[in-house]
Amino acid sequence: METPADRLFIKENKKERERLRQLVNEMTDEELSLVIYEEGWTIAVVLAHLAFGDQRTLQFLKKWRQISVTAEPPLDINHINDALLPLFLAIPPRVAAGLAVSLAETLDCELEEAAPDMVKAMEELAPGRLHRAPHRKRHLDEIEALLKTARRKTG
């Protein structure tokens, strides 16, 4: 039987999605271009990275709805992120920011509507895959810290 704790990720995903939306709405285009990580990762790239993560989970969710939840292909996310970096950098910063918000909304809506047995099977196969909040939170914390420093320097 499903308990409220089994769906805690929905509440936490929503909280970080709302935080994401607020941050994106408050940032200037210049702030979206601030470098947050080495190798050219800007805030916009981090937001595109979040969008990719939500899109990837959304694709798994759609596939698992068509077939039973039985397997997840092996993957090394760092190699995927490295491979996607040039593509992320090619996305205009405001577009990347919008993708992060819209894909978070789409995924969270789909997860809220997912059948409990499907959620259970997905969590057993790929623990934590549906709980996007920690990943969103980590990057949003880093973005806010960079913005605080950058805004202090310019303000």
Helices 8-26 and 133-154 pack at an angle, to 10 degrees, of 20
> What was the pLDDT predicted at 133?
96
Beta bridge partners of 35: 42
Q: Is the pLDDT of residue 34 over 80?
A: yes
In the chain, the domains with their CATH numbers are: 4-154 (1.20.120.450)
Kindly report the CA angle at 32 between 105 and 108, in degrees rounded to 5?
10
> How does pLDDT run across 114-134, given as a tens digit for each residue?
999 999 998 888 888 899 999
> How does pLDDT run across 76-103, given as a tens digit for each residue?
677 688 778 888 999 999 999 999 999 9
CA distance 72 to 75: 9
CA distance 92 to 34: 13
Claim: this prediction has a pTM higher than 0.95: no
